Every structure is written in C-alpha cells, then in structure tokens.
C-alpha cells in the first residue's frame, strides 16, 4: 500500500579493485541500501526488485559487457533471469576486465525498479474494470497517457570521477504520490461509446526506469620503481612513483651492502612523496660504509579518498655499478715545497747518497745549508725542491734513515728519523708516487698504508676496502654534487693512524700544487663524503 514518499533509492556507477589484485571491476547498482549507513530503506519492502545494467567503454578498444547485464543498450529491463543485476535490496551488475595503463574507462549505466502487483480488486483508475494494478508506494512513477509521448524524460548523470552515487528523489521521474498503476489503460477513448479507440489500449509492464549514470576511471597502477642510481656516489637516487593523481605516501628504501665486518643495510625514509619521478637525496650521515649492490623497499601509498595506505613493494633493483661508499673522509694536503717560497734563515742539512765498494754499501753525507723552513717542510711532506732545482727526498722515506740502511753512519747532528725534525735528504730525479707514476698536482691522492718493516701495506679504508693504484674517488661536500674527482697514485703512511682522522672515517692525503713551505698556506681539502664514481 502507498506510504509517505521519500527518496530512498540509490543509483551508482563506479569502479572497484577485484580480489585478484590484477583485474578491475566496473559496476552499476540500484539499491535500497543507504551507502552511508548500510541500512535498508523502506523502499526495499515497497518494490519487488532493483535493477541495473551497464557496459564499459574504454578510451581505446571495444565496449565491454557482462553476462550479468548483457543488454547492448544497457537496459536493466532485459537483465537475464537470476542475474545479481536484478535483486532486492540491491541489483548490481559487475563487469570484470583487465585494465591497461593509461586507458580511461567509462561505465555507462541505467537503473530501474520492479513493481509489486497490488492485491486483486485494487482500484487504480484502470481502463478494464477487472484489471490489475502495480504498486508504487513512493511515487517514483509518472506518465501522461494522453500526451504524444506519455513518458517523462529519463535524466542522465555523468561524472568524470571513478565513483558516482546519487540518492535519487522520487520527483525525478515520478510525482512522489503513493499510487497504483493500471496495467492497462487507454491512451485515446472513443467520443461515442466511451470505448477505447482501437489500437490505443496500452499494456504496462511492472518496471520503471530511474536514470542513466556514468563514471570514469583511468588506470594508473600503484607502483614504486627505482629507475636511476647513476649518481648515487653523490647520494642521489631516482624513484618513479605511479598512482592516481593526488596519491601521497612514505617511501622506505633498503640498500644492502657488505663491508669487511659484515652485511650492512641502509634504510632511508622519505616522507609524503607524491606521484611521478622523484629525485631522492640519501642522508649521507646515516649510510654505513659498505659496497652496496642491491636495493628494494616499499611505498605506503594513500590514494585520494582513502585513509588507509596501500603498501606496494619496490621491486629488487641491482645497482648497475656497485656503490662503494667510504663515508666522511678527512683530506689533508701534501705538497712539494720550493725553497724559493720559504722564509727565514738557513740551517745545517745533509745530502745522503750511497756507494758500493767490495760488496758493501756505504752511506755518504754532504753537509749543506738549506732554509730552515724548507728543511722542515720537505721532511714532513717527503719531497722538496731546493734553490738549485734539485728534488730532495726525506731520507727515511727512501730507506736511508739513521734507523735503516744507514744506521750508525750518520754524522753528528744529522737526523734521519723524526716526525718533523729530520734534516737529511737524498737527491732524486722526479717526484713519483708509490704507484710509480708522476704525481699530478691537485689530482693525485695518497692512500693510507701502515709501515711494516720496509713495506707499507695498504690499509682498509673505513672498513670497506683498500684503495688500489689508479682508483678514482668522488668527493662530495654533502651537497649532493661532485666537488672533486681524484685518483690514487701514492701511499700515505701517516693516514692509517686513527688519531689523524679528525673524527672522520678515514684519512687521505691529497697532492697539492701549492709550493709553499707552511701547512698554514697549503691547508687541507677538508671533509668529504667519499665514494667510487658510479657513472
């Protein structure tokens, strides 16, 4: 029986993820369930069934139908018997399909309701006295049998969003008056006998259209992929984040590497990243020194209109070139001081040379005068050029020190072992590093080694690995850019002593073009985050 009319039927077009995690489901529904509360409205009892029919039109490709609602014109009236597209309190048609990235899908839907028959004998103005009536308690139906087109225009609601739901009012297609609807009525009566004009008896079906709706969805798969680590030596990595526009989320990367002591895993976190190609700067100070070869991670993507993050894994990524990272290294500088650049007075110094007679090596000493500042600078740096243009070498560095092969032969006041007070030198032909290559100013580096007897084995830098001759190093101040690229050409016996690290993770001596005699003028390069180049 008729009730108070209210809008209590919801029509929907939309898309939702399939349970297989791969497919997408386009759907249309007509329902007496209030989506906000999950509760059924009185319409569930007022109408026999709710029906929907829809199809999906992709931006490229053919229209997709569902067996649940196969009508080419999306007519829910033609839904097959037993289909979930016709039901109470909901009739929903699902169209499952495999989405293609970048393709826009439009679901086009029609919605309708099925009426109950009124009890026999119910009078509803029917043309045939003993005819029957359909029940429309909420007044969704209306018609003007005497108009040229007796039916009202069915509204169309189009949305570019992936979900469209409308609580359709009864006034849209009806008169909101509880009513019975005659199954037969006369569209045009005879003026003489009050009979229906031949051919104008209308037979009504117990179904009524409500509206057409549509919704749109573009497939933007949620993914996070590391795409570039060619500049990871400067802490830069690029990740491509794909998801519907407006998606944001925290990205966690995980770099796995090894150093001499074990496996290291570096896990930087980047907050609230949006979609697109993201250039990430890895916080240097948190990176354990190691050789990193692989990376993965996860992105907790929060899609628009959702509050729960969808976690997607970053696929395993093998760095094209392993990232050998030594952490922050302190770079002092050494040079070849020139006596002409020194100041102050002269002091005694000795030039040592060797001669062999009768199978016995003899150390020969020649006393000379050299600038006092030059003597100290040449001893501490290992090499210097005097006013005559001769290249002088620290005697202890060439095994001619007074605790080495010339032990017991040093003249009074000649010093052949000391940190800073040595005054005995050998004349050499050229400034070469331990790698037997000519040192290049402002380019060559001396790697740490630890003297053992006459040898100076290379020590492991930062617990990662020992540097080799010719190795290139990338020096970054911490601003994610290369400050210098330098090459390993020499050894530094003083650089393996942790007391010279200045709190850094290692120590390297850089060969400077400065010819000054004081450390104050030569200075240091400073602290640099150090890696092997990766591009």
Partner 1 sequence: MNSQARFFAHKMIGKMIGLGAFSLQMLLIAAPLTAQDRSQPINSEIRHTGTAEIRSVTKDSGFFPDRQPVVYWHDEDWKIDLLPLSTPDAAYELSITSSDGKMRIVKLPEDYSQINSISKTTNDKAIVIADINGKITAFGLVDLIAGKLIDNFAMSPPSVSPNQRFILYVNTDYYDYYNYRLYDTSKTPKENTCGYRLNDPEHKALDESYRGIQVYPRKGDQVSCSDEALKAFEDENHNLVSNVIWTSDSSKVVFADVKSGVVSLILVIMPHDDHDKDHGRDKDGNHNGDHDRPRTLIYSFVGTENVCGAVGPLGPTGCDNNNVKSIAWNGDSVNVTLVQANPTGPAIVKSLTIPIAKFVPLAK
With contact defined as beta carbons under 8 Å apart, do 32 and 196 qualify?
no
Interface positions, 412-441, toward partner 1 (CB under 8 A): 412-415, 417-422
What is the DSSP-derived secondary structure letter of residue 217? E
* Nearest-approach distance from CB 326 to partner 1, in angstroms: 12
Nearer to partner 1, 75 or 293 (CB): 293
For partner 1, the closer of residues 99 and 288 by Cβ is 288
Size of the site for partner 1 (CB under 8 A): 75
Give whichever of 428 and 460 is closer to partner 1, judged by the CB atom: 460
φ, ψ for residue 232, nearest 5 deg: -70, -20
Residue 256 binds partner 1 (CB under 8 A): no
CA distance 82 to 76: 13
Closest by alpha carbon to 342, among 303, 324, 369?
369
In the complex, what is the shortest distance from the CB of residue 329 to partner 1, in angstroms, rounded to a whole number? Answer: 11
Candidates 94-102, 192-200, 222-230, 452-460; binding stretch for partner 1 (CB under 8 A): 452-460
Q: CB of residue 325 vs partner 1: minimum separation in angstroms?
A: 14
Q: Which two tokens stand for residue 342?
A: 């020194």
- Distance between CA atoms of 409 and 422, rounded to whole angstroms? 15
- If the CB atoms of residues 360 and 419 are measured against partner 1, the closer one turns out to be 419
With CB under 8 A as the contact rule, the residue among 275, 373, 474, 531 that binds partner 1 is 373
Cβ closest to partner 1, residue 218 vs residue 524: 524
Residue 329, token pair as written in the block: 């290294």
The whole-angstrom separation of Cα 95 and Cα 68 is 8
First to last CA, the chain: 80
Peptide bond into 237 cis (omega under 30): no
- Which residue lies nearer to partner 1 by CB, 78 or 450? 450
Minimum separation from the CB atom of position 353 to partner 1 (A): 18
Could you say which residues in the range 220-249 bind partner 1, by CB under 8 A?
Answer: none
Site for partner 1 in 122-151 (CB under 8 A): none
Least distance (Å) between residue 226 CB and partner 1: 22
Nearer to partner 1, 359 or 520 (CB): 520
By beta-carbon proximity to partner 1, the closer residue of 184 and 527 is 527
Q: Could you tell me which stretch among 74-82, 246-254, 402-410, 429-437 binds partner 1 (CB under 8 A)?
A: 402-410
DSSP state for residue 449 in the 8-state scheme? B
Phi, psi of 79 (to 5 degrees): -60, 140
Q: Tell me if 384 contacts partner 1 by CB under 8 A.
A: no
- Contacting residue, 283, 403, 468, 470, with partner 1 by CB under 8 A: 403
Binding mask 458-477 for partner 1 (x = CB under 8 A): -xx-xx-x-----------x
285-304 residues in contact with partner 1 (CB under 8 A) are 291
Return the range that interacts with partner 1 (CB under 8 A); candidates 74-82, 107-115, 255-263, 270-278. 255-263
Task: Give the CA distances from residue 410 to residues 357, 383, 406, 436, in Å, rounded to whole numbers and listed in that order.
Answer: 18, 20, 7, 29
Instruction: Please identify which residue in 94, 168, 264, 426 interacts with partner 1, judged by CB under 8 A.
Output: 264
Is the distance from CB of 492 to CB of 507 less than 8 angstroms? yes
Q: Does 408 bind partner 1 (CB under 8 A)?
A: yes
* Backbone phi and psi for residue 308, each to the nearest 5 degrees, phi listed first: -100, 135
**Contact pattern from residue 70 through residue 109 relative to partner 1, giving x for each residue in contact according to CB under 8 A and a dash for the rest:** ----------------------------------------
Check binding of 530 to partner 1 (CB under 8 A): no
- Site residues (CB under 8 A) for partner 1, limited to 491-520: 493-504, 507, 509, 518-520
Q: C-beta of 261: minimal distance to partner 1 in Å? A: 4
Q: Which two tokens stand for residue 231?
A: 């500049």
* Measured distance CA(339)–CA(392) in Å, rounded: 11
CA 402 to chain centre: 61
Where does 374-503 show beta strands of DSSP type E? 383-385, 391-394, 424-428, 444-448, 460-461, 465-466, 472-476, 482-492
Q: Which residues contact 417 (CB under 8 A, 6 or more apart)?
A: 396, 401, 402, 403, 404
Question: Edge to edge, what strands does the sheet with 9-17 contain?
Answer: 90-97, 24-31, 9-17, 163-168
Q: Is 402 in the site for partner 1 (CB under 8 A)?
A: yes
> How many whole angstroms separate alpha carbon 218 and alpha carbon 101?
8
Q: In the complex with partner 1, which residue's Cβ is closer, 156 or 261?
A: 261
Q: Which of 67, 128, 147, 263 binds partner 1 (CB under 8 A)?
A: 263
- Return the residue of 14, 112, 401, 433 that touches partner 1, per CB under 8 A: 401
Task: By CB under 8 A, name the one of 11, 396, 467, 488 that touches partner 1.
Answer: 396
DSSP structure string for 321-343: EEEEEEEEEEEEEE---BGGG--
Query: Under the criterion CB under 8 A, does residue 258 sit at the interface with partner 1?
Result: yes
| H or E element at residue 46 | helix 43-46
Please state, in angstroms and rounded to a whole number, the distance separating the CA atoms of residues 157 and 108: 10
- Tokens representing residue 147 in the block: 């108009």
Binding map of partner 1 across residues 325-344, x = CB under 8 A, - = no contact: -----x-xxx--------xx
Please give the DSSP secondary-structure letter assigned to residue 416: -
Among 407, 438, 513, 535, binds partner 1 (CB under 8 A): 407
């Amino acid at each position: 029986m008729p009730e108070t009319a209210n809008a209590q039927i919801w029509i929907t077009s939309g898309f939702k993820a399939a349970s297989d995690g791969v497919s997408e489901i386009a759907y249309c529904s007509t329902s007496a369930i209030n989506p906000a509360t999950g509760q059924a409205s009185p319409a569930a009892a007022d109408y026999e069934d709710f029906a929907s029919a829809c199809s999906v039109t992709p931006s490229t490709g053919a229209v997709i139908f569902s067996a649940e609602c196969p009508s080419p014109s999306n007519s829910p009236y033609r839904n097959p018997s037993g289909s979930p597209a016709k039901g109470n309190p909901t009739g929903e048609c699902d169209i499952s399909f495999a989405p293609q990235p970048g393709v826009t899908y439009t679901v086009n839907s029609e919605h309708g309701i099925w009426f109950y028959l009124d009890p026999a004998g119910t009078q509803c103005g029917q043309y045939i006295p003993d005819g029957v009536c359909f029940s429309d308690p909420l007044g969704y139906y209306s018609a003007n049998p005497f108009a040229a087109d007796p039916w009202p225009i069915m509204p169309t609601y189009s949305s570019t969003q992936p979900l469209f739901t409308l609580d359709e009012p009864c006034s849209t297609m009806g008169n909101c008056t509880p009513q019975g609807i005659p199954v037969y009525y006369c569209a045009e009566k005879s003026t003489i006998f009050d009979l229906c004009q031949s051919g104008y008896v209308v037979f009504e079906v117990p179904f009524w259209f409500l509206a057409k709706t549509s919704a749109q969805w573009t497939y933007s798969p949620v993914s996070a992929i590391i795409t570039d680590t060619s500049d990871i030596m400067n802490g830069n990595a690029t990740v491509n984040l794909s998801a519907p526009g407006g998606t944001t989320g925290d990205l966690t990367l995980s770099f796995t590497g090894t150093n001499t002591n074990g496996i290291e895993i570096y896990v930087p976190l980047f907050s609230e990243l949006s979609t697109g190609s993201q250039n990430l700067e890895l916080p240097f100070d948190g990176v354990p020194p190691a050789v990193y070869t692989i990376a993965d991670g996860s992105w907790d993507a929060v899609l628009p209109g959702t509050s729960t993050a969808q976690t997607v894994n970053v696929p395993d990524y093998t760095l094209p070139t392993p990232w050998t990272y030594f952490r922050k290294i302190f770079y002092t500088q050494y040079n070849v001081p020139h006596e002409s650049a020194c100041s102050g007075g002269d002091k005694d110094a000795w030039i040592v040379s060797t001669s062999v007679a009768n199978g016995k090596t003899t150390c020969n000493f020649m006393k000379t005068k050299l600038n006092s500042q030059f003597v100290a600078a040449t001893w501490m740096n290992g090499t210097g050029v005097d006013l005559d243009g001769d290249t002088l070498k620290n005697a202890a560095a060439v095994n001619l020190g007074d605790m080495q092969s010339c032990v017991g032969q040093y003249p009074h006041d000649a010093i052949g072992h000391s940190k800073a007070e040595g005054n005995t030198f050998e004349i050499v032909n050229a400034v070469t590093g331990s790698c037997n290559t000519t040192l290049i100013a402002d380019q060559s580096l001396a790697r740490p080694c630890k003297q053992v007897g006459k040898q100076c084995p290379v020590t492991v830098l930062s617990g990662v690995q020992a540097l080799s001759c010719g190795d290139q190093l990338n020096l970054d101040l911490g601003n994610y850019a290369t400050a210098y690229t330098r090459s390993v050409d020499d050894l530094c016996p003083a650089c393996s002593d942790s007391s010279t690290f200045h709190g850094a993770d290692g120590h390297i001596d850089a060969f400077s073009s400065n010819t000054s005699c004081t450390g104050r003028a030569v200075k240091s390069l400073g602290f640099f985050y150090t890696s092997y180049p990766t591009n």
